[in-house]
C-alpha cells in the first residue's frame, strides 16, 4: 500500500489542525443524542470536505438524500452563496422535525427545504429539477436507484457524492449483505458510467465522489 495508514493520533492531528465544529453543529449532535436518534451523521471532516466541494464548483443548488437531524445539511448549506438552495429528503418524521428545528437554529431555514417522504418518490417528483451537487446518504440498498435518478438531474460540472461507500470495510467481504451489495453496485456504477469521473475517497467510512463531465 502506498501512503500512510491513518491511526488515532494522525486522525486527531488532522482534526485539530483543520476542522472547527462550531456550537451549532456541536449542539445538533448533542440534541440528536438526547432524542435517542441514531448518531450516524457524517464526521466533521466529512462535513468540511462536502462544504469545500460545494464551494470549489460554486454550486448553487444542492440535493441531499437522507437528512437525519440536519448535521450534514448545515455543513453543506454553509458553502452555498446567498441565493443558494439545498433540498433534503427524509422519510422519518422525528428526524425531519428535529432537522427543521436545527435549520432554524442555524439560521438556514431560508436556504434549506426539507421534503418529508420516501426519497425515491420525492426524486420522481423532482425529476425535472437540476442540481449542481448531490449527496447520497440514505439506506444503502437503494444507492443504485438513487444514482439512476440523480444522474438525470445533474448540471454539467456538478458533483455526486455518497457516504459510507467503504461500509466499515465490508465492501471486500466474501459474503456481503444486501446493504453492502447496494454499495458495491453503486461504486461500480460510479466507476463505469461514461458521464462521470469518479473516485472513492477514503475519508471516514468512504466517500465516493463523481464529477459530472
Q: How far apart are CA 211 and CA 193, in angstroms?
A: 11
Closer by beta carbon to ligand SAH, 142 or else 195: 142
Closest residue (Cβ) to ligand SAH? 66
Q: Are 162 and 143 in contact (CB under 8 A)?
A: yes
Packing angle, helices 44-56 and 8-18, rounded to 10: 50
Using CA of residue 127, residue 129, residue 130, residue 132, what is the dihedral sign? Answer: negative
Which positions touch Mg ion (CB under 5 A)? 137, 163-164
Closer by beta carbon to ligand DHB, 45 or else 205: 205
Minimum distance from residue 213 beta carbon to Mg ion (Å): 26
Query: How many residues are recorded in the chain?
Result: 213
- Interacting span for ligand SAH (CB under 6 A) from 6-14, 64-72, 153-161, 203-211: 64-72
Minimum distance from residue 40 beta carbon to ligand DHB (Å): 4
Closer by beta carbon to Mg ion, 164 or else 208: 164
Of 125, 80, 131, nearest to 106 (Cα)? 80
Which positions touch ligand DHB (CB under 6 A)? 40, 137, 163-164, 205
Q: Which of residues 4-33 bind ligand SAH (CB under 6 A)?
A: none
Burial class (CB in 10 A: 0-12, 13-18, 19+), 170: middle
Coil, helix or strand for 130? coil
Minimum distance from residue 78 beta carbon to ligand SAH (Å): 13
Residues of this chain that bind ligand SAH (CB under 6 A): 40-42, 66-68, 71-72, 89-92, 95, 118-119, 137-139
Amino acid at each position: 500500500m502506498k501512503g500512510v495508514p491513518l491511526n488515532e493520533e494522525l486522525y486527531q492531528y488532522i482534526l485539530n489542525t483543520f476542522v472547527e465544529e462550531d456550537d451549532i453543529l456541536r449542539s445538533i449532535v448533542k440534541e440528536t443524542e438526547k432524542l435517542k436518534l441514531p448518531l450516524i451523521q457524517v464526521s466533521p471532516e466529512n462535513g468540511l470536505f462536502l462544504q469545500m466541494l460545494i464551494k470549489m464548483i460554486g454550486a448553487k443548488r444542492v440535493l441531499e438524500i437522507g437528512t437525519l437531524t440536519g448535521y450534514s445539511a448545515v455543513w453543506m448549506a454553509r458553502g452555498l452563496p446567498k441565493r443558494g438552495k439545498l433540498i433534503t429528503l427524509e422519510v422519518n418524521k422525528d428526524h425531519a422535525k428535529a432537522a427543521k428545528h436545527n435549520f432554524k437554529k442555524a439560521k438556514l431555514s431560508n436556504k434549506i427545504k426539507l421534503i418529508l417522504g420516501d426519497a425515491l418518490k420525492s426524486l420522481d417528483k423532482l425529476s425535472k429539477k437540476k442540481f449542481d451537487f448531490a449527496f447520497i446518504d440514505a439506506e444503502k440498498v437503494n444507492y443504485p436507484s438513487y444514482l439512476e435518478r440523480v444522474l438525470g438531474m445533474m448540471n454539467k460540472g456538478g458533483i455526486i457524492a455518497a457516504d459510507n461507500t467503504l461500509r466499515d470495510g465490508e465492501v471486500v467481504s466474501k459474503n456481503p449483505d444486501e446493504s453492502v451489495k447496494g454499495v458495491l453496485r453503486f461504486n461500480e456504477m460510479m466507476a463505469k458510467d461514461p458521464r462521470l469521473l469518479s473516485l472513492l475517497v477514503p475519508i471516514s467510512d468512504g466517500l465516493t465522489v463523481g464529477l459530472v463531465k
